[in-house]
Amino acid sequence: MGNAAKRASLYMILLGLWSGSAGLVFASPGEMPEDAQAQADGFLQRYCSRCHNEERFAGYWALVDVDLHAIARGEQLEAWEKILRMTRDGDMPPPLRKKQPSPDDRAQFAAWLQGQLDGYSARHPHPGHSALRRLNRAEYANAVRDLLGVDLVEASSLPADDSGYGFDNIADVLTVSSTLMDRYFAVAGRVSRLALGVDPAAPARTGYQVPKDGSILNQGVPSFNERSSGALPIDSRGGGAFEYYAPHAGYYELAGFLNANTNNEVDRLPENRYAQQIWLDAGPHTLGMSFRRELGLDESVQTLRNTTDIVPMPVASPALTTLDFVVDGARVASANVPTFHESPRFAQKNFLRDVLQIEVEGPLPTPDLEATRAASARELPSREAILRCRPGRGARAEQRCAKRILRPLLRRAYRRPATAEDLASIMKVFTAARAQSDFDEAIATAVQALLVAPRFLFVVEDTPPGLAPGTPHRVTDTEFATRLALFLWSSGPDDELLSLAQRQRLRRPRILRAQVARMLDDERAAALTENFAGQWLFLRNLDYHRADVEAYPDFDVRLRAAMREETERFFAAVVREDRSLLDFLKADYSFLNERLATHYGLEGVYGPAFRRVALPATAQRGGLLGQASLLTLTSYGNHTSVVRRGQWILDALLAAPPPPAPPDVPALVAERSGRALTARQQLELHRAKPACASCHVKMDPLGLALEGFDAIGASRSEFAGQAIDLRASLPDGTTFEGLPGLQTVLLARRDQFLRAFTEQLMIYALGRGIQPQDRPTIRAIAADAAADGYRAQQVLLGIINSYAFNHRRSPES
């Protein structure tokens, strides 16, 4: 039974149930019996017409504009979906109004209306609009990595993609500009040469800026006595490490600029540059520099706060300390450096010595560099993987070998078996390049061409011949494999997926389930966290967040990175371990390192490494809303925002975003009679204005319950000298208190949350916005998952099995 048919029958059953429980009688779907319509009309007249009439025109619509019969014609679906959402979730009629339907009436109306909408959708399956989709930069970088077997493209080195519907993988929005092509050409050229080891051995310099801050006011938490990276020796402190791809074996100069210990830690002084020559084999490495961790610090830290004008001088001369040069986790060289920099004007010693910037330059010219290059290139794993043969003598042997090399690359790059035409066309590039360069370079040029080819850059889906324009049809198995890989990996399908697809086996339910499990288990599934969760939860914004250092001296890039990592690991665990999605709302575990645990006031977590931590009931953490990342990114730099937090919850967790604030919104009054007002008092004044009240009654209580967390997500009990009151009440009169109370409120709306989550994931999976015809699907997927313990992978599979994910419409013209 096809998906559509299965869905349709499911709807029939559900419709039957609804009509039974709602006491409404149906002749057949699509035909509306008089009394059912009369009841629905009566409901709308009774509860909606008072405001949604032509006179008052609340929300810019009147009841006379909509027609229940339109649903059967596939019209006004969006309006009716909205009416359904509002009435079902209790947002309409406004909770403050006296005249409210009884819960039974409300449920009956919602069930009946939903039945109408679901019924239409079941009878008219619609794959939605699908456009030629360009790989976005993350997908491009991953696809290149998986094609060449070496991770050389950093997505952020490509121009940012536009985003729509909250995500940057929306087909309609991903355009191609000359800037983009410039970058793709450049990146493709560099990557193909590096992967094949055919780059000229010219020395090049690469710089890495160590993430470090907190020094602007000579305060903050210099985490200088912490091991700054897992790639550095375990007894190290400070410094940093970064990934570097050595194009050739040879000697490289590894150099670091140390801090100048001035009041402004940005100087890169030549006298603070320390360099050593190190040997690197060709290929990827982790390079770093760090100091030795001191258990009893003998480098003093001056805690005096300075201004730019008052610069205290050091009282003693600097001692010497050891600076280590680290390659792939091992100390390969060291230098003795003074514990602080002395200069006639700036010298002070506010901070321990640390590394601000690391540079690597090479390979350094040596007499036999070319020979070394040729020898070392042969050992590159990526090169070995690509060059499946060595050409024999003669042009024909070379052509044969080139074809053997390029055919599998074409298949992976184009995400379908290579045709004779494909091969002939890329062989022309090879042949032209071969006329000017050696075999390997000519292959590199052909690879570069593949990486800018339209069939690589665009996700091409073919229309079966003879199909009338606008006809829905099932995408091929290989096309489906690509959709799947883009969804879960943000990359192209691997050989296993392609092979199953070519044999028409991928969509067999058991095989598909196993493949999805395999894919989620794979390291590449990190893309789902980074790209989906990063955008769904606005986590990406955290990277740009700068808390006010004066108000929050604890906030620095390390803490910020730890915040993000907690949420990413948490999200990944829920998906990978197929846990309940309700963990997002409330959970008794999280992922912490020492820094973050300390931030949360939790003891017993040591070191910079993250691990799963069981949260005690008293922790007042757990779930997304107890995580510092979200509490921080919904705050301003120097204070919390009840409104932003409330709005974030409505938007991201409940898909019920409040309308944008009116243009003439009055600012909050921060003090009265010289006394600072709490957020609660400020908002009470604000809500007293009728224009503000209607939205703020929804947002404010959610945010108020989180006032126990400050603007960087640390616990607090008072603000402006007053104890914080965490009690809040919803428009319907429900009262609750603090994070646990909020969690109870949200769990009561668990189905709404699940639909919201499914909707977000669906947008991401389909690479397009949600259309009203998708909503019945979203409801069905969410309902299935709810019936199955809210399990995360149930939603993923629901989307993967959905009609829209498996079908497309033939082009209109």
Partner 1 sequence: MKRPRPLSRRGVLRGAGVTLALPWLPSLAGASTNTHTAPRPPQRLSIFYLPNGMRMDSFRPARTGTGFELPPILQPLAPLRERINVVTGLAHANAQPLGDPGGAHGRSCASFLTGAHPKPTEGSDLRCGVSMDQVAAAHLGTDTAFDSLQLGIEPSSLLGSCDIGFSCTYTNTLSWRSPTQALPVMVSPREVFERLFGDAAAVDPASRARLFDRRRSILDFVIGDAARLGGSLAASDRHKLEEYLTAVRDVEQRVQRLAGQDLRWVSEEITLPPGIPADFATHVALMIDLQVLALQTGLTRVATFMLGRELSNRAYPEIGVPDAHHSLSHHGGDPTKVAKLVKISRFHIAQLVYLLRKLQDTRDGEGTLLDSTIVLAGASLGEPNDHDCMDLPALVAGGGLPGDRHLALPRHTPMSNLMLTLLQRLGAPVDTFGDSTGTLQQLDAAEAGRGLA
Residues 601-630 that bind partner 1 (CB under 8 A): 609
User: Which residue(s) pair with 214 in the sheet?
Assistant: none
**What is the closest distance, in whole angstroms, from the C-beta atom of residue 99 to partner 1 in the complex?**
27
3-class state of residue 436 by DSSP: coil
Number of residues engaging partner 1 in binding (CB under 8 A) = 107
Residues 193-232 that bind partner 1 (CB under 8 A): 200, 204, 208-211, 229-231
* Long-range contacts, 460-469 (Cβ 8 Å, 24+): 460/132, 460/414, 461/130, 461/808, 463/810, 463/811, 464/810, 467/810, 468/810, 469/810, 469/811, 469/812, 469/813
CA distance 743 to 584: 10
Among 3, 61, 79, 185, binds partner 1 (CB under 8 A): 185
Q: Cβ closer to partner 1: 185 or 251?
A: 185
The window from 17-25, 56-64, 455-463, 791-799 that contacts partner 1 (CB under 8 A) reads 455-463
3-state secondary structure 490-508: CCCCCHHHHHHHHCCCCCC
Among 35, 235, 271, 462, binds partner 1 (CB under 8 A): 462
Spatial contact of 658 and 647, defined as CB atoms under 8 Å apart: yes
Spatial contact of 386 and 144, defined as CB atoms under 8 Å apart: no
Among 150, 282, 501, 525, binds partner 1 (CB under 8 A): 525
Helix-helix angle 495-502:395-414, to 10 degrees: 80
Q: Can residue 241 be called a binding residue for partner 1 (CB under 8 A)? A: yes
Residue 280, phi then psi, degrees to nearest 5: -130, 135
Q: Can residue 49 be called a binding residue for partner 1 (CB under 8 A)? A: no
CA distance 778 to 670: 43
Q: Cβ closer to partner 1: 4 or 778?
A: 778
Q: Cβ closer to partner 1: 85 or 586?
A: 85
User: Which residue(s) pair with 675 in the sheet?
Assistant: 672
List C-alpha distances in Å: 261 to 84, 238, 288, 343, 763. 63, 14, 21, 10, 49
Q: Can residue 454 be called a binding residue for partner 1 (CB under 8 A)? A: yes
**What is the closest distance, in whole angstroms, from the C-beta atom of residue 662 to partner 1 in the complex?**
12
Q: Cβ closer to partner 1: 508 or 546?
A: 546
Q: Can residue 170 be called a binding residue for partner 1 (CB under 8 A)? A: yes
CA distance 61 to 44: 13
The window from 20-28, 36-44, 518-526, 786-794 that contacts partner 1 (CB under 8 A) reads 518-526
Residues 277-336 that bind partner 1 (CB under 8 A): 286, 308
Residues 341-370 that bind partner 1 (CB under 8 A): 345-346
Q: Cβ closer to partner 1: 24 or 429?
A: 429
Among 189, 493, 701, 708, binds partner 1 (CB under 8 A): 189
Q: For residue 331, give the H/E element and its range.
A: strand 330-338
Instruction: Could you list the beta-strand ranges (E) of 84-136.
Output: 133-134
Compute the residue count for the chain. 813
Q: Cβ closer to partner 1: 352 or 449?
A: 449
The window from 293-301, 312-320, 502-510, 530-538 that contacts partner 1 (CB under 8 A) reads 530-538
Q: Cβ closer to partner 1: 408 or 769?
A: 769
Q: Which residues contact 513 (CB under 8 A, 6 or more apart)?
A: 797
The window from 11-19, 182-190, 400-408, 793-801 that contacts partner 1 (CB under 8 A) reads 182-190
Q: Cβ closer to partner 1: 111 or 433?
A: 433
Spatial contact of 107 and 787, defined as CB atoms under 8 Å apart: no
**What is the closest distance, in whole angstroms, from the C-beta atom of residue 410 to partner 1 in the complex?**
11
What type of residue sits at position 622?
G
CA distance 252 to 239: 19
CA distance 759 to 655: 8
User: Which residue(s) pair with 591 in the sheet?
Assistant: 612
Q: Cβ closer to partner 1: 321 or 758?
A: 758
Spatial contact of 624 and 537, defined as CB atoms under 8 Å apart: yes
Residues 632-691 that bind partner 1 (CB under 8 A): 637, 651, 655-657, 660
List C-alpha distances in Å: 318 to 297, 340, 578, 807. 14, 6, 55, 70
Q: Can residue 158 be called a binding residue for partner 1 (CB under 8 A)? A: yes
Q: Cβ closer to partner 1: 198 or 619?
A: 198
Residues 549-588 that bind partner 1 (CB under 8 A): 557, 561, 565, 576
**What is the closest distance, in whole angstroms, from the C-beta atom of residue 550 to partner 1 in the complex?**
14
Among 526, 685, 693, 697, binds partner 1 (CB under 8 A): 526
Q: Can residue 457 be called a binding residue for partner 1 (CB under 8 A)? A: yes
Radius of gyration in angstroms for the set of CA atoms belonging to the chain, rounded to a whole number: 31
**What is the closest distance, in whole angstroms, from the C-beta atom of residue 27 to partner 1 in the complex?**
33
Write the interaction track for partner 1 spanning residues 9-48; mark x where CB under 8 A is met and - where it is not: ----------------------------------------
List C-alpha distances in Å: 118 to 270, 400, 652, 714, 749. 70, 57, 24, 45, 21
Q: Can residue 463 be called a binding residue for partner 1 (CB under 8 A)? A: yes
**What is the closest distance, in whole angstroms, from the C-beta atom of residue 388 to partner 1 in the complex?**
21
The window from 170-178, 270-278, 618-626, 673-681 that contacts partner 1 (CB under 8 A) reads 170-178
Residues 378-437 that bind partner 1 (CB under 8 A): 421, 425-426, 428-429, 432-433, 436
Q: Can residue 453 be called a binding residue for partner 1 (CB under 8 A)? A: yes
For residue 655, give the DSSP letter: S
What type of residue sits at position 257?
F
Q: Cβ closer to partner 1: 369 or 429?
A: 429
The window from 13-21, 30-38, 160-168, 733-741 that contacts partner 1 (CB under 8 A) reads 160-168
Q: Cβ closer to partner 1: 594 or 759?
A: 759
Residues 737-766 that bind partner 1 (CB under 8 A): 759-760, 763
Among 180, 323, 352, 582, binds partner 1 (CB under 8 A): 180
* Long-range contacts, 159-167 (Cβ 8 Å, 24+): 159/183, 161/136, 161/137, 163/535, 164/769, 165/763, 165/768, 165/769, 165/770, 166/535, 166/536, 166/760, 166/763, 167/531, 167/532, 167/535, 167/763, 167/764, 167/767
Q: Cβ closer to partner 1: 308 or 717?
A: 308
**What is the closest distance, in whole angstroms, from the C-beta atom of residue 290 to partner 1 in the complex?**
12
User: Which residue(s) pair with 209 in the sheet?
Assistant: 357
**What is the closest distance, in whole angstroms, from the C-beta atom of residue 181 to partner 1 in the complex?**
4
**What is the closest distance, in whole angstroms, from the C-beta atom of residue 441 to partner 1 in the complex?**
9
Q: Cβ closer to partner 1: 234 or 614?
A: 234
Token pair listed for 774: 């998708």
**What is the closest distance, in whole angstroms, from the C-beta atom of residue 497 to partner 1 in the complex?**
17
Token pair listed for 253: 């100069």
User: Which residue(s) pair with 205 in the sheet?
Assistant: 361
Residue 325: name the closest of 251, 223, 226 by CA: 251
Q: Can residue 79 be called a binding residue for partner 1 (CB under 8 A)? A: no
The window from 27-35, 65-73, 127-135, 332-340 that contacts partner 1 (CB under 8 A) reads 127-135
Q: Cβ closer to partner 1: 154 or 550?
A: 154
